[in-house]
Amino acid sequence: MFQQVPTAPPDSILGLNEAFRADPNPEKINLSVGVYKDEQGVTPVLKCVKEAERRLLESESTKSYLPIDGRPGYDKAVRELMFGADHEVMTAERGVTVQTPGGTGALRVAGDFLADSLPGRSLWLSQPTWPNHPNIFTAAGLPLKTYAYFDKANNGLDFGGMMEALKGAAKGDVVVLHGCCHNPTGIDPTPQQWKAIGDLVQEKELLPLLDFAYQGFGDGLSEDAVGLREIARPGQEMLICSSFSKNFGLYNERVGALTAVAGTKDEAGAVLSQLKKVIRSNYSNPPTHGAAVVETVLADAELRTMWEEELAHMRNRINGMRKLLVEKIAACGIEQDFSFIQDQRGMFSFSGLNQMQVDQLRSEMSIYIVGSGRINVAGISEANVDRLCEGIKKVLG
Ligand code: LMR
């Protein structure tokens, strides 16, 4: 029977990692998948995580199942980190959170919930977006539409185009917004633009779904939540998919969460019951370790301070690399203006390189970036930046 099964194409991001591993060139550079690396090219385990793990190992007394929605302490800590303890969503108790295997797990639970409980609505994705978004929501059976996002001419946000497209959304449609550090462009709305998005969502009665995977990688923990808090007006419903892969460096522990904000506490309870139903028929209940680490760090004043410092260090290193890359590009004689890289936020930079140039970088220099031209700035270091600039100069011709 299996002879009928065709080979699927490799994943557009994770597939590059496999090709990178197989590349024998000792000077190869991997700027594909969104993983933070330090100056030595290592993806470190954060010190706060190591300490939390030491404490957990000592105190752990059971390996019994978690509840379907995960660790209650974790779920509450996730909401507090996003909204702040005094936010109306918290005091009105109209938010519920389920622990999920990574941000991808959260997006899939959200997709299945929408397909089951609120069928018939379209889901709008930014153009471009993370390539796994269409995979996930198509797998959940949702009809997809796109809204303009990237202004190629100015390397900025096409805010007019975005608003125009979303004005065409039907009441009840779902709009996927990147909470901060837009993947792949690195371009976010300003606080004023978030306000206008909040107005539009409210007026048109749309359901915002925020993908919030990079809190703390842009400008800071609360700065990066500006858009989310703007959207979460009294009575506004929303879904938020969180990931702690990047800001806690917990990539392989798969730590995420889906938060649903309903109009009232009772409605939130009904949504929670449906989310649990979706989870039970998928992976039953989540794994505990990564979420226990996040919960431990967020609940302990000393570990939390340590985490915020380590997160600031990662953020500052990335922003330092943005500056260095722009300087080095100019210094090596490339005339094209790449200064926009410094205005982008988060791990990624949309370089403007096209698929042919990306292929050439890979085949001639063993430099791996995503086909859209997305560069993982967090993979750049003093040690590889000159070679990267040499490659960019070469492919620009
Ligand atoms: C990325 O965009 O590189 C990350 O979100 C990792 C992934 O799963 O694609």
In the chain, pLDDT over 70 holds for what percent of residues?
100
Q: Indicate which atom in ligand 1 lies nearest the CA of residue 376.
A: 3
Whose CA is closest to 371, among 9, 60, 83? 9
Q: What separation in Å is there between the alpha carbon of 93 and the centre of ligand 1?
A: 32
* Paired tokens of 76: 């509450």
> What percentage of the chain carries pLDDT values higher than 90?
99
Class of domain 2-45+303-396: alpha beta
Q: Which residues line ligand 1 (CB under 6 A)?
A: 13, 33-34, 130, 132, 183
Q: What dotted CATH number matches 65-299?
A: 3.40.640.10
Of 75, 112, 211, 224, the active-site residue reads 211
Q: Contact, 371 vs 358, CB < 8 A?
A: yes
Q: What is the dihedral of CA 72, 74, 78, 80, to 10 degrees?
A: 70
d(CA 170, CA 161): 17
pLDDT score, position 155: 93
ipTM of this complex prediction, to 2 decimal places: 0.95
For residue 349, the CA-to-ligand 1 centroid distance in Å is: 13
Q: Whose CA is nearest to atom 4 of ligand 1?
A: 34
> Among this protein's residues, is 211 annotated catalytic?
yes
Query: Which atom number of ligand 1 is nearest to the Cα of residue 34?
Result: 3
pLDDT per residue as tens digits for the range 47-94: 999 999 999 999 999 999 999 999 999 999 999 999 999 999 999 999
The verdict on whether 75 is a catalytic residue reads no
Answer for the pair 11, 371: CB distance below 8 angstroms, yes or no: no
* Protein residue closest via CA to atom 1 of ligand 1: 34
**CA-to-CA dists, residue 315 to 103, 322, 335, 339, 370, angstroms:** 20, 11, 28, 19, 21
Q: Per-residue pLDDT for 171 more than 90?
A: yes
What does the DSSP 8-state code read for residue 342? G
User: Which residue has the least CA distance to atom 5 on ligand 1?
Assistant: 34
| Atom in ligand 1 nearest the alpha carbon of residue 213 | 5
Mean local confidence (pLDDT), 129-134: 97
d(CA 78, CA 298): 9
pLDDT of residue 114: 98
Residue 228 clears pLDDT 90, i.e. is over it:
yes
Tens-place pLDDT, residues 12-39: 999 999 999 999 999 999 999 999 999 9
Mean pLDDT of all residues in 339-350: 95
Instruction: Check: CB of residue 29 under 8 Å from CB of residue 388.
Output: yes
CA of 51 to the centre of ligand 1 (A): 27
Tell me which residue of 213, 182, 221 sits closest to 307, measured CA to CA: 221
Q: Catalytic residue among 37, 75, 246, 328, which?
A: 246
Residues 152-172: b if buried by 16+ CB within 10 A, e if exposed: eeebebbbeebbebbeebeee
**The predicted structure's pLDDT at residue 278:** 98
Contacts of 160 (CB under 8 A, 6+ apart): none
Q: Say if CB 330 and CB 391 are below 8 A apart.
A: no
Q: What is the pLDDT of residue 156?
A: 95
Which position has the token pair 């096209």? 354
CA of 301 to the centre of ligand 1 (A): 30
346 close to 380: Cβ distance less than 8 angstroms: no
CA of residue 14 to ligand 1 center, whole Å: 7
69, 75, 124, 130: the active-site residue: 130
Which atom in ligand 1 lies closest to the alpha carbon of residue 132? 9
Q: Region 198-205: what's the mean pLDDT?
A: 98
Mutate to test the pocket of ligand 1, among 16, 30, 126, 130 (most ligand atoms within 8 A of CB): 130
Average pLDDT over residues 225-246: 97
R_g (Cα) of the chain, nearest Å: 21
Helix 102-117 to helix 265-280 angle (10° resolution) is 110
Q: Are 346 and 182 in contact (CB under 8 A)?
A: yes
The pair of structure tokens assigned to 322 is 């943005």
- Which atom of ligand 1 lies nearest, measured to the CA of 104? 8
Tell how far the Cα of 155 is from the centroid of ligand 1, in angstroms.
22
CATH 3.40.640.10 intervals, the chain: 65-299
Question: What is this structure's pTM?
Answer: 0.97
Q: How far apart are CA 93 and CA 316, in angstroms?
A: 35
Quote the pLDDT of residue 191.
Answer: 97
Whole-angstrom distance, CA of residue 183 vs CA of residue 197: 18
Could you give the residue range(s) of every CATH 3.90.1150.10 domain in the chain? 2-45+303-396
Confidence band, pLDDT 50/70/90 cuts, at residue 397? confident
**pLDDT tens-digit map of 107-117:** 999 999 999 99
Closest C-alpha to 373, from 346, 386, 392: 392
Tell me how far CA of residue 201 lies from CA of 96, 175, 204, in angstroms: 21, 8, 5
Nearest to 12 by CA among 132, 129, 105: 132
Nearest CA to ligand 1 atom 2: 34
